[in-house]
Structure 1
Amino acid sequence: MTRRHRRRAAPLGVLLAGLVAGSLLCATSVAPAYAEPGSPESGKQAARSRTSSAKLQADGSLSDVAGLSEKDVWAVGQQDVWDFWQNQGVITHWNGSSWTEVDVRNDTTGAGHLRSVAAASKNDVWAVGDGHDGLPYVARGNRDGFDRLAVPQLRGGDWIGAVAATTGRVVLVGSRDGRTFVADAAAPSWTGWATVQGPIGALYGVGLTGKSEGWAVGDSGSRPVILRLTTTGWKVSRVPAVKGGFLRDIYVQSRKRAVAVGGIYQRSGKIRPLVLSWDGESWTREKLPVAQAELYGVTGDGDGAFWVSGYDPARPGTAFLLTYTGSKWKVVHGDSVPDRTVRLQAVTRVGATTMAVGHTLDANDRYHDVIETFGTSAK
């Protein structure tokens, strides 16, 4: 999950670029020329990566990815990102050999930017974002198609940044009236949505380990915010004091292990990477091997290893990951895309493969969706 800053006034051109890039998605918060598969930049690690695309239409970008297996991966995003009134939400599926777009049935208004996707099972996949009717967009489906769900508890002005789903429960997070916002529902009807508003700010990432266990992350505009779900509901969790800090995604491994990622705004305008880890008792800040980077998404293998996707300003044309395999964090660079800026907005781990999605931006400010695959399937 993905990956969004909110802060400070900015020139209109910068603001629009940030909005479609996924770096300024909440107003109150903070490509065809592809590299050849297997074109290593250097070393063994690069030989394990492959750059490809879901081949969206012009100005396409992928915002999030969720995988059930190496032959069952979902991604969402948008096409025509520069047209805020006519941009088209995209849901696409990987079957192990190709990407196929999946339609939303019986929807006359259509989706704009789809920001987040969650897969509880092969027949229970959720996608959320913006609707062209001014309401948050919530869709549920499978490979045969999706249906937009009417959620009466959502209203115009609500912003939904992420979705998480597990068997029998789905949770949406975002902001409402400048405050953090959570909406959740249970199977089988998916109609009894309950909503909760938390402290000032917005939530951008959410993860569940069960029907009554999970975390949501975001920021207040000046510091990180984390909410915890227990049997008594959502509560604010104590986090390290990080001035200017924000969180954009979280991977929850178990009750005693979770990793949240984001960054820290600097006066210079640069962003320092931020990773917080949960050990079952408290959140602590991780030491990282890179001083400047933008972190958007995080995933894990359920056994103590983690992968973080983002953007490395020192090597803007190269796919960038942070990895943790049980001892320390390391930087991994994949394929280089000539004359492009590469931003990996989200990442998932399926089997022995790590798949990250996002976009490249060329010299003419045109977007092209990009998929970077690390692991056995990249060989």
Structure 2
Amino acid sequence: MGNLRVITVAVLGMSLIAACGSGRAAPTLAPDRTVSPTPSPQNPVPSESSAASPAATVAASAAWATAEGARLSGNAALLDVTATGPRDAWAIGYQDSAEDREGLPAVLRWDGSRWREVKLPVVGAYHLEGVGASGPDDVWVVGNGRSAFAAHWNGQSWTRQRPFGVTEDYRLDGVATDGGKSWFAGNGPSGGVVLEWKEQEFHNVMNAGGTLNAITAREGDVWAVGVSEKRTPLVCHGTGDGTWDRTEIPEIPGGGLNRVWQISPSDVWAVGEITAGPDNPEVRYAQPLVLHWDGSRWTRVEVPVPRGTLHGITAIGPGDLWVSGIDAGHAGQPLFLHFDGRRWSREYGPLFRAYAEGQQYDESDDVGRVGIARVPGTGTLLAVGSIGSGDDEAGFLLRR
């Protein structure tokens, strides 16, 4: 099969056993930032577990277990996950990818007992980027091939939609469903765009400029996030009456947002990173970025990880927020941050691959991306992601 590898989550779980106790020396983390002892979402009490460790790996939390999943063919990655209940969850991404080949969409579904692949009959589709569902018979996936595409699952079959027709200069990156309505975050020649699926048609409801990466919706409020034209965080807000605007947020040079989650109209969280650039020369490494909306303004929230990036966010309740991503000091393990309403704590998933001299890529043992979702009606969390890059990439599934 040449460089192609057939990977299952079970195989990655077995590699954990072989990998423990070895690994390359990771750079020592810089001291964690001091957080005000006055507890609030903006100034939480720092967790006792926030002390940085200089080790290449840290102890994996026993709460996060690898989940056996359907086989993904060749080089693969899982990029997003959602659940509508204990017996219905979806994970999406791509498979059969290579440096010289875009690959094919990957869709996995959890039925309460196992993950299995669901074929997506879409010709010309390469990667899936986002998934949203309001129930087992109302699921949207979005992605990109020769052009942007979306597909809807009605409980029995898929129906493909072309939000931008056959034009090749648009893409879709996120989807949100709520109360039978659906919204989409996309990008085109003029910047970010928000679409609404209404009356069996797509309607352009917001031209945002910049780039939009994700969208969330609840109780008639819709939030889309990304990166502005000035390379600062971008947040757009829509309401039930169809009004949309760009929300004023802190000016953070190099900041960008990857995901957003609404607990209530006055409790919204967004996560991403701050990258190095000419506008912020003091930033040498990517830094995690968390922003919180309290109903009147957005403020930045400090977290106990000084270097890294954040990819996912979900909540079981107002005092039970979870964020997923990568700690640059321990890049081989998924990072999970928990906020209980007063303080942040952090957990790490398993080490899937140990560093090996002469490995194909420097990043072959590093986590590439981590998405997270809650299972409604339970305290269960699901996480997906990828290990490695290029011709040496595999997806993973975790359950807490």
Q: What TM-score do you get using the length of structure 2 for normalisation?
A: 0.78
Give how far 1:103 is off.
2.1
Q: Which residue of 1 aligns with 2:144?
A: 130
Q: Which residue of 2 aligns with 1:90?
A: 106
Find the residue that maps to 2:349 and give its secondary structure. strand
RMSD: 2.5
Q: How does 1:329-340 map to 2 (within 5 A)?
A: 329-339=344-354, 340=365
Find the residue that maps to 1:171 and give its secondary structure. strand
Which of 255, 258, 265 is the equivalent residue of 2:275?
A: 265
Change over 3 Å in CA distance of 1:152–1:338 after alignment to 2: closer
Q: Which residue of 2 aligns with 1:341?
A: 366
The answer on 1:323 being equivalent to 2:338 is: yes
Change over 3 Å in CA distance of 1:53–1:341 after alignment to 2: farther
Q: Which residue of 2 aligns with 1:160?
A: 172
Of the structure 1 ranges 319-328 and 137-146, higher mean CA displacement relative to structure 2 is found in: 137-146
Cα-to-partner distance string for 1:9-37 (whole Å, 9 max, x where unaligned): xxxxxxxxxxxxxxxxxxxxxx5541249
Cα-to-partner distance string for 1:2-60 (whole Å, 9 max, x where unaligned): xxxxxxxxxxxxxxxxxxxxxxxxxxxxx554124997999997221112453311101
Give how far 1:337 is off.
1.6
Partners of 1:259 and 1:244 lie apart in 2 by 19
Of the structure 1 ranges 117-126 and 331-340, higher mean CA displacement relative to structure 2 is found in: 331-340
Q: Which residue of 2 aligns with 1:34?
A: 12
Does the CA-based 8 Å contact 1:261-1:295 persist in structure 2? yes
Change over 3 Å in CA distance of 1:86–1:247 after alignment to 2: closer
Q: What TM-score do you get using the length of structure 1 for normalisation?
A: 0.82
Q: Which residue of 2 aligns with 1:368?
A: 394
Find the residue that maps to 2:61 and give its secondary structure. helix
Partners of 2:152 and 2:391 lie apart in 1 by 33
Change over 3 Å in CA distance of 1:372–1:240 after alignment to 2: same
Match of 2:111, as an amino acid?
N
**Identical aligned pairs, as a percentage?**
28
Q: Which residue of 1 aligns with 2:226?
A: 218
Change over 3 Å in CA distance of 1:248–1:62 after alignment to 2: same
Partners of 2:58 and 2:98 lie apart in 1 by 37
Partners of 2:170 and 2:290 lie apart in 1 by 28
Match of 1:252, as an amino acid?
Q
Give how far 1:265 is off.
0.8
Which of 70, 75, 83 is the equivalent residue of 1:59?
A: 75
Which of 364, 367, 384 is the equivalent residue of 1:357?
A: 384
Q: How does 1:233-252 map to 2 (within 5 A)?
A: 233-252=243-262
Q: Which residue of 2 aligns with 1:174?
A: 186
Give how far 1:151 is off.
3.3
Match of 1:173, as an amino acid?
A
- The number of aligned residues is 335
Match of 1:34, as an amino acid?
L
Partners of 1:43 and 1:295 lie apart in 2 by 18
Which runs of no fewer than 5 residues in structure 2 stay unpaired?
Answer: 1-6, 22-56, 355-364
Higher-Rg member (1/2): 2
Q: Which residue of 1 aligns with 2:50?
A: none
Does the CA-based 8 Å contact 2:153-2:159 persist in structure 1? yes
Give how far 1:232 is off.
4.1
Q: Which residue of 2 aligns with 1:195?
A: 204
Q: Which residue of 1 aligns with 2:263?
A: 253
Give how far 1:234 is off.
1.5
Of the structure 1 ranges 312-321 and 139-148, higher mean CA displacement relative to structure 2 is found in: 139-148
Give how far 1:194 is off.
1.3
Match of 1:151, as an amino acid?
P
Match of 2:169, as an amino acid?
G
Q: Which residue of 1 aligns with 2:36?
A: none
Give how far 1:80 is off.
2.1
Find the residue that maps to 2:330 and give its secondary structure. coil
Give how far 1:311 is off.
1.3
Change over 3 Å in CA distance of 1:307–1:154 after alignment to 2: farther
Cα-to-partner distance string for 1:320-350 (whole Å, 9 max, x where unaligned): 1111111122211122223222234310011
Does the CA-based 8 Å contact 1:344-1:356 persist in structure 2? no
Partners of 2:247 and 2:166 lie apart in 1 by 25
Does the CA-based 8 Å contact 2:143-2:149 persist in structure 1? yes
Match of 1:58, as an amino acid?
G
Does the CA-based 8 Å contact 1:250-1:258 persist in structure 2? yes
Partners of 1:85 and 1:317 lie apart in 2 by 25
Does the CA-based 8 Å contact 2:208-2:236 persist in structure 1? no
Partners of 1:84 and 1:248 lie apart in 2 by 26
